[in-house]
Amino acid sequence: MKKIDLRGRSCPFPVIETKKYLEQEIKKLYVLLDSTTARGNVSKLAHSYKYSVNIKEEAQQYCLYLAKGKTEVSSEQSCVNLSGSKVASAKAILITSELLGQGCEELGKIIIRAFLYALAENDVLPEQIFFLNSRIKLTVKRSPVLSILRELEEKGVEILVCGTCLDYYNLKEKLAVGKSTNMYDIAQVLMSKENIIL
């Protein structure tokens, strides 16, 4: 039986890591978690791959025993759509904010990183991701998401960064992933394709 310890890892990491093993069709998998959210999301994912799930709780930790077999597939979605089936997605993503969502700044930074990580692991990818305003800082040297953006680029996603914004923040020489673009090109793409603005 394969064992994986995913304690202390925030969403979507436990789902993505478990998915990698389920895709290998391992007959039995033991997953150790310490979050009720992760427990629910991993359980739903396992059901979508037709694994049975047996959960044992010990001192606020959850031991999930996953076994390949016939189960009812859950219709509910996990924190990210990682069920293995291709779904329609936006062709372009525009990232403009320092944070993802409103509220706690620290949480916003964690969420944007989790979103990009989940996106890189998804089966369906956008054609382009645009970075504007202070969000261009994600594309320069020492960015906490640099490796994720490079992985997306290697998978064929165009990383396009506002040139005016790079100049404004004096970061043109520090651009480490993607290429500089202009507002005319950004406007053309956004008017011609489906897009998501974050």
Number of domain units in the chain:
2
- Where are the alpha helices (H) located in the chain, listed in sequence order? 13-23, 36-48, 105-121, 146-154, 163-168, 183-192
Evaluate whether residue 78 is within a structural domain: no
* Chain length of the chain: 198
Query: Given this model, what pLDDT does residue 81 score?
Result: 36
Residue ranges of the chain with per-residue pLDDT less than 70: 70-90, 97-99, 101, 193-195, 197-198
- Residue span of the structural domain in which 181 resides: 92-197
- 146 Cβ contact partners less than 8 Å away, ≥ 6 residues apart: 138, 139, 176, 177
Q: Are 51 and 66 in contact (CB under 8 A)?
A: yes
- Tell me: do 104 and 175 sit in the same domain: yes
- Tell me: do 14 and 105 sit in the same domain: no
Query: Given this model, what pLDDT does residue 37 score?
Result: 81
Structure tokens at 150: 């490079």
Query: Given this model, what pLDDT does residue 136 score?
Result: 93
Query: Given this model, what pLDDT does residue 12 score?
Result: 82
Classify residue 137 as exposed, middle or buried by CB count within 10 Å of its CB (0-12, 13-18, 19+): middle
Nearest by Cα to 182 from 197, 159, 160, 157: 160
DSSP of 170-186, one letter per residue? T-GGGB-SSEEE-HHHH
| H or E, element range at 62 | strand 61-68
- Tell me: do 109 and 25 sit in the same domain: no
Evaluate whether residue 76 is within a structural domain: no
Q: Within a 13 Å sphere around the CA of 192, how many CA atoms are in the beta-carbon half? A: 8
Of 29, 52, 68, the last residue of a domain is: 68
Query: Given this model, what pLDDT does residue 172 score?
Result: 92
Q: What are the C-alpha distances in Å from 42 to residues 37, 56, 124, 148?
A: 9, 14, 20, 22
